[in-house]
Structure 1
Amino acid sequence: MFIYHFHTKRILLSLSALLCFSCNKLVEIPQPKNTVTTVKVFTNDAQAQSVMAGILTQMINGTGTLGTRTFSNGLTTLLGGLSADEFDSQISGPTVTYYQFNSNNLNINVSFMGELWESAYQAVYGANAILEGIEASKSPTLHQKVRTELAAEAKFIRAFSYFYLLNLFGDVPLAMTTDFNKTKNLPRAAVSVVYQQIINDLNDAVNGLPADYSAGGGERIRANKWAAKALLARVYLFTGAYTQALTEANEVIAQTGLYRLEELDKIFLKNSSESIWQLQQNTNAGPGTSTPEGDVHLPNPLHSGTLSFTLSRALLKTFEAGDLRGSLWVDSADYTNMGITTRTIFPFKYKSGKHNRVLGGVSTEYYMVLRLAEQYLIRAEANALNGQTGAALADLNILRNRAGLGELPVSLTKEEVLAAVAKERQTELFTEWGHRWFDLKRTGKAQEVLSALPVKQPWRGNYQLLYPIPKSEILRGAFLVQNPNY
C-alpha cells in the first residue's frame, strides 16, 4: 500500500515555516542521510506548527507547482457526485473516466482511485508522524500546550481521512504508525474497527483542541474542539449511535458566539459564521484565489464555457418552486462549437473559478469542509430516528425558511419526516464532499434510487457502491485483497 512503502520523511523547513514533506514508495532504499529527523523537526513550537501547516497545505493544494487531485481538494465531491445522482457526464462512452463513474461501470483500471487512496493515506501518515514526533521530542522549547493541541489536531486529521477511506473503499488497513516494518503487511480492518478508532481519535481531539480559532490566527482554517465534535456527530449518525449524534450536534449548535446560519450567498466566504472548518488554498499556485471546487466546477467564461459534467436532472427536480438554493447555488452556461450549443448546469456555491481567479491575489473564499447546516440536519435525523418528529421538523424548517420555503406540516409521520430529512440533505449539501453518495449508501437507498436512472442501467450490482482498491496497491500489498467483483 502507498502509505506502507514510504522510505523517507523529508521534512523541509523553509523560511516561511511551511512544511513540505514527500513520501516515496521504494522500500528497499534506506532513509537518506540528509533527512531532517523527526526529533529535529519537533525542537520548538514554530517548527512543530509548520509540520501541521504542511499537512493541511498538501490536503488542499496537492503536491507540485500545479497541485494534484486529492480526496480533500474536490475529488471526493466530483466522483461521489457522478456515482450518485448529482452530476452527469457530458461525454459518454465506456473509456471515458467520468462516464464510468456516472454509469456505475467501474473496473480496477479506472482513473483517480490512486489519487483518492494515496492522498488520504498521505494525510494519515502525516498525522502519525506528528504524534510520533511529539512523543519522541524531549525539547524544552516545544511547550506542553503546543504538544497537546498538535497531537489532538493530528488525531482529528487521521480520523477525518479514515472517514473518507471507509466510505469510499469499505474495509481499509488501519495504520497507527509510520514504521514500515509494522505496516507493510497490514490486512484490511473491518469498518467497525476503523470507526471505533475514528471515535477514539475524535474524543481525544475534543479533549485536546482549543475551543477557539487561535491556532489559525482567528481564521477558521485549523480544526478546533467544535470541528472535532461536528465530525463526531456525523460519525455517530453513520454508525447508528443516534443519541450520541444528537448530543454532539446539540453542543456545536449551542456555540452561538462562534456559529450561526448565514445568508445563502455568504456561507462559502472565508471565515463565514457558518463555517466550522475550512481549508485555505495557496493563491500563489494552481487555481490561485479560487477554491479547488470553484476551479473545477465553474466554466470559463462563466456563462459560455464548457465542462465535462453538468448537474443532473435528478438533482434539479428536487428543488421546490421558490427554493433559493436552486437559484443562488445553481447557474448555467451555453457553450457553442461549430454551430452546436451545449448547455451545462453547474453548482454555483463558490463564485471564484477560472473565469476570475487571480494568481497571488487575496481569496474571498476558502474551501468549506464542515459547516453548521449539516449539524442541524444531523440533529433533525437523530431526533426523527428517536421518535422526536416535532424537534426534527423544527430544525428542517429553519433551513427551509432560510431557503425561502414554507414550513413542513406537523402532521408528518416518522417515515415522512425521515424522507424530508433526506430531501433537505440532498438540496442543502449537494456537491459537497460526497454527502449524497454516502447518504444513499448508509440509508440503504442506493440501489432503489440509482438503478432507476437511465444512465445507470442496467444496474450492475451493489458491489459498485464501494470503489475498487487501486490495482497498484493490490500488487504491492501481500495481504491486501480487492473489493468483491472487481
Structure 2
Amino acid sequence: MKTYRKYISLFFLSLTALSCKKFLDVEPRDSVSDEQTIIDKTSANTALRGVYRRLGNDNYYGSLFQTFGYLPGDNVQWTGSQSIIQQFITHKINADNGNLQSVWSGIYSTINGANNVIAKVPGLTDPTFSVTDKNQAVGEAYFIRALSYFDLARTWGNVQITLTPTLNASDKLEVNGSTQAEVYRQVLSDLNAADSLLQLPSQTGVSNPVRVNKQTAWALKARFYLYQSNWAEAEAYATKVISDNKNYVLQKPYSAFFFPASAVATKESVFELSYSATYLSGHRNSWQPPANGGTRQWAPSDALITLINDPKIGGNRSALVAKTSAGLWYGNLYYRSPATDPAYVIRIAELYLIRAEARAQLEKTDLGRIDLNIIRDRAGLDPVSETIDKPSLLLAIENERRVEFALEPHRWFDLVRTKRAGAVLNVTNSQLYLFPIPANEVALSNGHLKQNDGY
C-alpha cells in the first residue's frame, strides 16, 4: 500500500537509559529498520518506544483518530469549511476521504511496530535482558496491538488482521479482510496475552500511566467487554482496576487531572500518552483559539456549552471550556504551551461508568447508582435518586458519559454500541455506523478487502 510503505521502518535514536518519565522524549532518525535495530535490550527498548510514538502520532491518538470519536457526535463542532471534515459531522463520509486514509495508515503503522517487538524480542539472547523484562516489553506490545485492533474494529468493522512484521508493501496485499467479530476475537486474544506477560505495579514498585501494566490490560478488557455486552466480565475487570485505590483515584475537583500544567500522569489516568518539548501533541493547536495562538478548528457545540455550564449537569466540569474576551467559546482540555498536553486514553472515571452501566444491565441498580454517584460527586453534583429504575439509570449513565468525556473520543462510539445513534443523532441508517474503508486500500487489495456496505 502506497501510503503504508513509509511506515514499514522504525526510526528512533537509542537512549542512554530507559526512563518512564522520558520514555517518549527521543528524536527520530530515518532509515533504520526493525530487523537491524532489535538485536539486544537497548534496541528492543528503542523499538518499543517507537511503538508508543506511533500510538501517539498525530494520525492516531495524537489528534486525528480522536476526531472520529467526537465529530460524528453532538459535543464538538468544526469551525472551518473543509468538506473532508464536514463529512464526519453530516455522516456522509466518502471512501476517498484523506483523513480515513491517514488514520488507517497510522493504526496499521502502530500494529506493524508492535508486531516487530512481539516477533523479535522473545528470541533475543542479550544476558542483560531478563525474562521478566522481555515479557514486559512483549506484553506492552500485545496491549498496544489489542488497542489498535479494537479501534479498527469499532471504526471500520471488517479489516485485515496482520500478526507478523510487514517488511514490504506487498506483504499485506494478499491478506483477506476479517469480520468485525473476528477482529474483536483477536483483540481479546492479544489482551489475554498481554495480561499473562505484564506485571502489576505492586510487583514492579512503579506505577506510571504512560507505560502499560497488567491493570492497563484489565481496564481495556473492561471496555472491550462493555462493547460486547458481556456485563459480568465488564463489571469484574472494572472492579479489578477500581480496587487499586493506591494507584488509581478520581482527582478532585474534575479539572485536577489536567490542570495546572504540572498535572500529568496523575492517579486519574490508567493510561495516557505523554509528550514533550521535542515531541509535541497535535491537540492544543486545534482546540485553542487564535487569541491563544491556536486555530480552534474543533470547538464545543452550542448544545454542549449549554449542558456543561448548567450547574445541575456540568457541575465543576465547566472547567473544560473557556471563553475569549471576544465571547468565543473553546475547549480547554488541551492548553499547554508548548503543546505537551497528554492524550488521555483510559481514565479511572471510565472504569466507574463502565461498572455502573454493567451493573445496571445486570439488574444491580443500587450498585450501579452508587458508581454513577461517585462520578457525580466528583463533579459537584447531587446524587441521583435512590428510587431510580433501570431504564432511567442507563439514560443517566449515558448522559453522564456525554459530559464527563465531552472532549474525549467516546460519544459517537457510545451511541453506536448502545444502538442509540438513531434516537439521539437521527442517524437511522445502521450502515453508517461503520466508516468506509479507504478507497485506496480497497483498490490495492486485489479483491481481498471488501468495502463496507452502503459506501
Q: TM-score when scaled to structure 2?
A: 0.88
Query: 1:474: which partner in 2?
Result: 442
Label 1:221 to 1:465 Cα distance change in 2 as closer, same or farther (>3 A): same
- Residues 403 and 5 from structure 1, CA distance in 2 versus in 1: closer, same or farther, beyond 3 angstroms? same
Contact persistence 2:250–2:349 (CA under 8 A): yes
- What's the CA shift string for 1:308-360, capped at 9, x where partnerless? 3421133334444343344211112366xxxxxxx5432222331xxxx138x
Moved more, 96-105 or 258-267: 96-105
Q: Quick check: 1:485 aligned with 2:447?
A: no
The residue that corresponds to 1:125 in the other structure is: 112
Corresponding residue for 1:327? 318
Alpha-carbon distance in structure 1 between the residues aligned to 2:33 and 2:322? 49
SS of match in other structure, 2:291 = coil
Distance in 2, Cα, partners of 1:301 & 1:7: 36
Contact kept, 8 Å, 2:60 with 2:106, in 1: the verdict is: yes
* Counterpart contact for 2:238–2:352, Cα < 8 Å: yes
Q: Does 1:82 align with 2:102?
A: no
CA contact (8 A) 1:156 1:202 kept: yes
Can you list the C-alpha shifts for 1:31-54, whole angstroms capped at 9, x where unaligned?
xxx86563x533332221111112
Q: Compared with structure 1, are the counterparts of its residues 122 and 3 closer, same or farther at alpha carbon in structure 2 (3 Å cutoff)?
A: farther
Q: Does 1:199 align with 2:188?
A: yes
Which residues of structure 1 form unaligned runs of 5+?
23-33, 63-68, 336-342, 452-458
Deviation at 1:214, TM superposition (A): 9.2
Change (3 A) 1:220 1:12: closer
Q: Which residue of 1 aligns with 2:23?
A: none
The answer to whether the 8 Å contact 1:2/1:121 transfers is no
Match in the other structure for 1:29: none
**Equivalent pair of 1:292/1:367 in contact (CA under 8 Å):** no
Instruction: Find the residue that maps to 2:338 and give its secondary structure.
Output: coil
Partner SS for 2:93: coil
Q: 1:440, 1:223 → 2: CA distance? A: 28
Residue 485 of structure 1 and its aligned partner are, at CA, apart by 2.2
Note the 1:390-401 alignment, pairs <5 A: 390-401=366-377
Counterpart residue number, 2:358? 382
SS class of match (1:109): coil
Shift of 1:77: 2.4
Q: Distance in 2 between matches of 1:150 and 1:403?
A: 37
Task: Quickly say closer, same or farther: Cα 1:15–1:226, change in 2 above 3 A.
Answer: closer
1:292 to 275, 282, 286: 282
Matched, 1:372 2:356: no
Question: Deviation per CA, 1:113-161, whole angstroms, max 9, x where unpaired?
Answer: 1111001111110110001111343443432112111111110000011
Distance of 1:184 and 1:368 partners within structure 2? 33
Letter aligned with residue 377 of structure 1: L
Structure 2: gaps spanning 5 or more residues = 18-25
* Amino acid in structure 2 at the alignment position of 1:419: L
Find the aligned partners of 2:362 and 2:248 in 1 and give their Cα distance: 26
1:245 maps onto 2:241 in alignment:
no
Question: Contact 2:287–2:331 (CA<8 Å) still a contact in 1?
Answer: yes
How many residue pairs are counted as aligned between the two chains?
A: 437
Does residue 440 (structure 1) correspond to residue 432 (structure 2)? The answer is: no
Deviation larger for 228-237 or 77-86: 77-86
Contact 2:200 2:215 in 1 (8 A): yes
1:400-415 matches, cutoff 5 A: 400-415=376-391
The farther-off stretch of 199-208 and 115-124 is: 199-208
Aligned CA distance change for structure 1 residues 116 and 37 (closer, same or farther; 3 Å): closer
Pick the aligned partner of 1:47 from 1, 22, 43: 43
In 1, distance between residues paired with 2:111 and 2:380? 41
Match of 2:275 among 269, 281, 295: 281
SS of 1:368's partner is strand
What percentage of aligned pairs have identical amino acids? 28
Counterpart AA for 1:157: I
Deviations 1:233-277 (A, max 9, x none): 000000111100100000100001111110112112212111111
Letter of the 1:423 counterpart? N
Q: Which residue of 2 aligns with 1:177?
A: 164
Cα separation, partners in 2 of 1:207 and 1:35, compared to 1, 3 Å: same
Higher mean displacement: 206-215 or 132-141: 206-215
Residue 215 of structure 1 and its aligned partner are, at CA, apart by: 8.2
Say if 2:270 and 2:348, in contact at 8 Å, map to a contact too: yes
CA distance in 2, matches of 1:51, 1:141: 17
Aligned CA-pair RMSD: 2.7
Q: CA deviation at 1:224?
A: 0.8
CA contact (8 A) 2:14 2:46 kept: no
Q: CA deviation at 1:15?
A: 5.3
